[in-house]
Amino acid sequence: MYQPPHFQETRQDVLHGLIRAHPLGLLISNGAEGPVANAIPFLLDADVPPNGRLRAHLARANPQWRLLADSPASPVLVVFQGTDAYVTPSWYETKRETGKVVPTWNYAIVQVRGIVTVIEDQDWLAQQISDLTVSQEGAREAPWAVTDAPTTFIQSQIKGIVGLEIEITDIQGKWKVSQNRPIADRSGVAEGLESESPNSPDMVRLVRSYGGLDSK
């Protein structure tokens, strides 16, 4: 990943936080016919040294798991996309001063590399779907649980999936949130997002935080 120094985010708790907030990752691996990619939800075991471990599952009908099983030492890439927003140069003070500005896109993203273990153990898979369900349902007033469905039905569903564990060998974060702009431009971006892009509160927060605007 192209990483200008001012966009690098290296704090592991922040990187892990984005994964938890945006758990639908793009799993990318190489096959005989080229790259293969599938979007699947992941769980993060942050306490596994040194960088954490990802857990997920694929449909047994999905051929990617067989490619992974056939190449157990081959690394994979998982991309987690956080908040993003278009940035118009009209929000920059520099536009009024010199006109020398262009549009851009702000975003936060985490890329993980690691080695995959393919798992077919039924107990592991049962725990995986239970943990994934709790991670998404736990905050609801009346959360759905795997045990709400008939046992025979769940057992049949488990037979249709294959588990994955990815030991994270490298994790990189890129928070491109206007840090490279003069402070007046950063202020303009935050104000512009607030007034014209009301669905971008997370990006506004990042622009203010990383741009040193929180106290202004």
Check which CATH number belongs to the domain holding 178 and give it.
2.30.110.10
Average pLDDT, integer, range 149-170: 96
Q: Which domain holds residue 10?
A: 5-116+163-195
Flag whether 110 is in a domain. yes
Flag whether 208 is in a domain. no
Flag whether 201 is in a domain. no
Counting residues of the chain whose pLDDT is more than 70, the rounded percentage is 99
Flag whether 148 is in a domain. no
99: left (phi over 0), alpha (psi -120 to 50) or beta: left
For residues 71 and 64, the answer to whether their CB atoms sit within 8 Å is: no
Flag whether 216 is in a domain. no
Give the count of domains, the chain: 1
Flag whether 137 is in a domain. no
- pLDDT at position 199 over 90: no
State pTM to two decimals: 0.94
Q: Residue 214: what pLDDT?
A: 80
Mean pLDDT of the chain: 95
Flag whether 26 is in a domain. yes
Least confident of 69-73, 115-119, 162-166, 169-173: 69-73
Give the contacts of 137 (CB within 8 A, at least 6 positions apart). Answer: 143, 144, 145
Q: Residues 31-41: pLDDT tens digits?
A: 888 999 999 99
Q: Residue 216: what pLDDT?
A: 45
Flag whether 62 is in a domain. yes
Give the contacts of 12 (CB within 8 A, at least 6 positions apart). Answer: 51, 52, 171
